[in-house]
């Protein structure tokens, strides 16, 4: 049978862009459909604008710390409109850049939302397109629990477009999104309250990362309320009134309420049922949530329909931009490049751009002990970096190695502190290659630097 395209991609985010360009480089005829700005969550309303906000939030501390080095810095104020507008302009510039990359690769961009009509047909608007293979890469979306008054809250989608800087922002959610924005907004000068259901933030990360980030957040003046949920939100003359589940807690008054309680795969409206694509249950649970579904895939990113594939957050495996890109390229190499390969989801490094920053690769201490028992050895250090000595600031850096005592292999590396992401990226290469603690010990450190601590821990 003759098809319009060799590959039709639904969704021009990180995974879809990577797969479409790679497939086109092998000579495939490729089209990609997108109903929003090209670039996906990462470029439009995720890691790129968020990281720019992180950079902006660091300046007030830098101004204060400069005094310790003899600099006289005058009163500093933030032009919020300029800040937000500049970020939006950069987002749109990058989106246009991705469009030009598609054009250069020979990928046809079709504007609109793709919907499956059958295993080989996609409908976009009032037109139908056929393809030999279809890739679904539509990502995920933030979700709001169905609780009274939550329509007054915003999500991580809207926070990049606030017209005014919040005086007091209340954030619910203990994951990396809630934690990062709590730190961003506090750094920018807003009063911040973060509400969590559990005892600790950042479930799934090493406990030393969780504890040290939280200690830093407390030190920076973020108010944390634990073991609570927001039961109701009401509009009042002063702003928003938030009633908590703990009746001993006074209601909170804030002008902005950020809901950062999770993300769900974007499976609605895709017509998956028309093509026989199966779903699996996701992991979000708690008061006010409905069931979450993700596209089921095998290790080759193949769905239950043999010619349809899915990558990225819509599959709810590891929801990270580089993972979606890696999955997309592995799919294209295997299906169009005569290079059968699988993307490895093992030993994936990641970072939390909080204040203090953190990054990690490999097993947590708890995971290692569950797998290797008493053979696990822990090497850890905590210190005040040299930079903070003259300003007299009590900022701490924590570094940790998790080692298998039987083989001496480094199973995990964890860090909280300045430039953690940059440092762990290099450490991740060694951990991925199976380096031992002796390999770390034999490496000469760069002095004076914080990173040298990873090769001097005894």
Residue among 168, 345, 414, 447 flagged as catalytic: 447
- Residue 361: phi, psi to the nearest 5? -150, 140
Token pair recorded at residue 337? 């490049």
Rounded CA separation 157/64 (Å): 31
Chain Cα centroid distance, residue 247: 33
Query: How many CB atoms neighbour CB 80 within 10 A?
Result: 16
Report which DSSP code applies to 302: B
CA 309/CA 328 separation, integer angstroms = 10
* DSSP H helical ranges for 293-436: 321-336, 365-372, 420-432
Tally DSSP H helices, then E strands, for the chain: 11, 23
Three-state secondary-structure class, residue 282 = coil
CB atoms within 10 A of CB 149: 17
Cα dihedral 125, 128, 131, 133, rounded to 10, equals 40
Task: Give the side-chain half-sphere CA count within 13 A for 15.
Answer: 30
Tokens of 75: 């009163």
Whole-angstrom Cα distance, residue 275 to residue 362? 37
Residues 6+ apart with CB under 8 A from 283: 292, 316
List the beta bridge partners of residue 404: 376
Rounded-to-integer distance, Cα 313 and Cα 113, Å: 17
- Taking each helix axis as running N to C, give the angle between helix 176-187 and helix 207-219, from 0 to 180 degrees, rounded to the nearest 10: 20
Task: Report how far residue 416's alpha carbon sits from residue 237's, in angstroms, rounded to the nearest whole number.
Answer: 41
Clarify whether 447 is annotated catalytic: yes
H-type alpha helices, 26-129? 40-45, 47-66, 80-105
CA 353 – CA 321 distance, rounded (Å): 15
Catalytic positions, please? Answer: 447
């Amino acid at each position: 049978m003759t098809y319009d395209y060799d590959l039709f991609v639904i969704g021009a985010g990180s995974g879809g862009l990577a797969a479409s360009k790679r497939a086109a480089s092998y000579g495939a005829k490729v089209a990609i459909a997108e109903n929003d700005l090209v670039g996906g969550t990462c470029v439009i309303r995720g890691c790129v604008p968020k990281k720019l906000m992180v950079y902006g939030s660091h300046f007030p501390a830098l101004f204060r710390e400069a005094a310790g080095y003899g600099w006289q810095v005058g009163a500093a104020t933030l032009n919020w409109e300029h800040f937000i507008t500049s970020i939006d302009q950069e987002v749109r510039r990058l989106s246009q850049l991705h469009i030009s990359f598609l054009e250069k690769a020979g990928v046809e961009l079709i504007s609109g939302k793709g919907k499956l009509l059958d295993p080989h047909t996609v409908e976009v608007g009032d037109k139908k397109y056929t393809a030999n293979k279809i890739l679904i890469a539509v990502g995920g979306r933030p979700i709001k629990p169905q609780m009274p008054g939550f329509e007054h809250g915003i999500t991580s989608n809207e926070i990049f477009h606030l017209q005014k800087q919040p005086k007091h922002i209340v954030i619910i959610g203990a994951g990396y999104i809630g934690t990062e924005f709590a730190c961003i907004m506090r750094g920018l000068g807003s009063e911040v309250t973060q509400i969590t259901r559990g005892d600790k933030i950042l479930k799934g990360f090493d406990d030393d990362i969780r504890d040290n980030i939280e200690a830093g957040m407390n030190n920076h003046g973020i108010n944390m309320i634990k073991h609570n949920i927001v039961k109701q939100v009401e509009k009042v003359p002063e702003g928003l009134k938030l009633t908590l589940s703990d009746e001993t807690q006074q209601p909170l008054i804030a002008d902005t309420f950020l809901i950062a309680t999770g993300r769900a795969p974007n499976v609605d409206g895709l017509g998956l049922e028309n093509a026989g694509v199966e779903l699996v249950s996701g992991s979000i649970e708690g008061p006010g949530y409905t069931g979450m579904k993700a596209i089921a895939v095998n290790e080759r990113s193949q769905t239950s329909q043999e010619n349809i594939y899915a990558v990225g957050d819509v599959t709810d495996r590891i929801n990270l931009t580089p993972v979606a890109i890696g999955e997309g390229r592995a799919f294209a190499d295997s299906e169009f490049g005569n290079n059968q390969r699988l993307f490895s989801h093992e030993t994936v490094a990641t970072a939390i751009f909080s204040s203090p920053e953190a990054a990690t690769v490999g097993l947590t201490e708890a995971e290692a002990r569950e797998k290797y028992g008493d053979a696990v050895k822990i090497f850890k250090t905590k210190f005040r970096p040299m930079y903070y000595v003259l300003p007299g600031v009590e900022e701490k850096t924590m570094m940790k190695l998790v080692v298998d005592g039987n083989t001496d292999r480094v199973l995990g590396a964890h860090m909280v502190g300045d430039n953690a992401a940059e440092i762990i990226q290099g450490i991740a290469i060694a951990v991925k290659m199976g380096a031992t603690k002796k390999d770390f010990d034999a490496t000469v450190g760069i002095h004076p630097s914080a990173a040298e601590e990873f090769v001097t821990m005894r």
